[in-house]
Amino acid sequence: MFNFFEIIAKHKRHHLFPRLEVDNRSRIYTLLAYLLAIISLHILAMVVFEQLPIDDAIWLTLTTITTVGYGDLSAQTAVGRTATTLLLYFGGIFILAKIAGDYFDYRLERKQKMITGLWRWHMQKHIVIINAPSTNPEQYFLRLIQQFRDNPAFVNTPIQCLTDQFPNGLPSKLRALDILHFHGLPESQEMLDAVNANQAEYIIILATDENNYTSDSQTFDILHRLVDSKARAKIVVECLNDDNRNRLLAAGAQSVLRPIRAYPELIVRAVVAPGSERVLEHLFTHSGNYTQRYDIQLEQRPWAEVVSTLIHQNLGIALAYLDAQGELFCNPQSDQKITSKAIFVLVREQDTPSITQITQSLMIRSC
């Protein structure tokens, strides 16, 4: 019951703030209209009752209402002084002060909304990240956003997340990475519109709970709303149940991958090079292929020779090696002569070569 009322409260809260924003601006505009009317009436009064030229009447009105009061001009007749008292002293100056106060209040409220994720940013060609991991969302976002920022294509790309995490605003470390936040749940088209999903270039839908298969249902719902609204973005989604992978692709997703929270680079790969995330995912999930370590010694052997030998022998693909000091080198130059105490080979799960086979193929001795 508590969760139900909490959801209702959040829903009302997000409907309330845009209206308050409109009300504040409307009130300021109304006061400005009253102020303009008062200024116009006083200028007219100065022209009619004080016989002032229009420019002098404007000057006298503005210096009086702003309380500057140079004293070079002033109302001389009783009617003119009465008009100044009623229009400017009792009306104009009060309204001007009220406008200034309301404006500063509006600015403070606007800043607070920006901090707490209740401000609608008008963004285009940006990245939208929907949902957040159920545990340690700050650390995950830090790593994910940093991976995007480390990619030259996304150094300056605006990024916004839509999540009910961070109710008090994004942590300072996340704000330092220039990520914006809208606090809410993607439960309606209104929430998706709040992050300008239709104008986004990429949309990433994270699983709400990486340990609960029912998260796929919410992912389907969000994807359906995006497709119905004709979102033009490339959509990457997380999927827990492999049976749903093809269904999500058919529903409009460009890339589908499992939630692997320890390696957010998968998300970035899915955006930058669609399909490469599947290769990495297979390595992580030990599905068909995996990386095997072989403790064998190589002495000044060209890396290209090691790779080509293993491929020709149908034993696997050499990916990296450890040198004599234990330092790891991944994908070295093909003409580099290496000295190693171990090599890492991508092998097939159903046909994993033994260390003897690798040793004999390279005609070296085992460690």
Q: Return the pLDDT at 367.
A: 44
Residue 302 DSSP SS3: strand
| Percent of the chain surpassing pLDDT 70 | 91
Residues 138-141: contacts with CB within 8 Å, 24+ apart?
138/166, 138/171, 138/173, 138/174, 140/261, 140/264, 141/174, 141/179
Q: Is the pLDDT of residue 12 over 50?
A: no
Do 2-116 and 289-362 fold alike per CATH?
no
The residues spanned by each domain of the chain are 2-116, 127-285, 289-362
Q: Write out pLDDT tens, residues 248-307.
A: 999 999 999 989 888 888 899 899 888 887 777 776 665 677 889 999 999 999 999 999
Residues 287-292: contacts with CB within 8 Å, 24+ apart?
287/349, 288/348, 288/349, 288/350, 289/346, 289/347, 289/348, 289/349, 290/346, 290/347, 290/349, 291/319, 291/344, 291/345, 291/346, 291/347, 292/316, 292/344, 292/345, 292/346, 292/347, 292/352
What CATH architecture is 2-116?
Answer: Orthogonal Bundle (1.10)
Neighbours of 138 (CB within 10 A): 15
Residue 190 exposure: Cα atoms within 13 Å on the Cβ side: 12
Q: Is the pLDDT of residue 92 over 60?
A: yes
pTM: predicted TM-score of the whole model, two decimal places: 0.69
Q: Is the pLDDT of residue 156 over 70?
A: yes
Distance of alpha carbon 259 from alpha carbon 140, whole angstroms? 12
CATH code matching the domain that covers 289-362, chosen among 3.40.50, 2.170.150, 3.40.720, 3.30.70: 3.30.70
Distance of alpha carbon 91 from alpha carbon 106, whole angstroms? 22
Contact yes or no for 277/159 (Cβ under 8 A): no
Q: Return the pLDDT at 264.
A: 87
Distance of alpha carbon 250 from alpha carbon 231, whole angstroms? 15
Q: Per DSSP, what are the bridge partners of residue 160? A: 128, 180
Q: Is the pLDDT of residue 10 over 90?
A: no
Q: Return the pLDDT at 227.
A: 93
Q: How much is the average pLDDT of 177-204? A: 92
Contact yes or no for 31/98 (Cβ under 8 A): yes
Contact yes or no for 342/366 (Cβ under 8 A): no
For the record, the structure tokens of 95 come out as 């309204």
Residue 113 DSSP SS3: helix
Residue 331 DSSP SS3: coil
Q: Write out pLDDT tens, residues 315-350.
A: 999 999 999 898 999 999 999 999 999 999 999 888
Q: Return the pLDDT at 285.
A: 63
Residue 301 DSSP SS3: strand
Neighbours of 54 (CB within 10 A): 11
Q: Is the pLDDT of residue 17 over 80?
A: no
Q: Return the pLDDT at 49.
A: 92
Contact yes or no for 296/286 (Cβ under 8 A): no
Q: Compute φ and ψ for 209, nearest 5 degrees.
A: -140, 105
Q: Per DSSP, what are the bridge partners of residue 181? A: 161
One-letter amino acid for residue 141 of the chain: F
Distance of alpha carbon 156 from alpha carbon 131, whole angstroms? 22
Mean pLDDT of the chain: 87
Identify the burial level of 230 via C-beta atoms within 10 angstroms of its C-beta, where 0-12 means exposed, 13-18 middle and 19 or more buried: exposed
Rg (CA), the chain: 33
Q: 127-285 in CATH: which number? A: 3.40.50.720
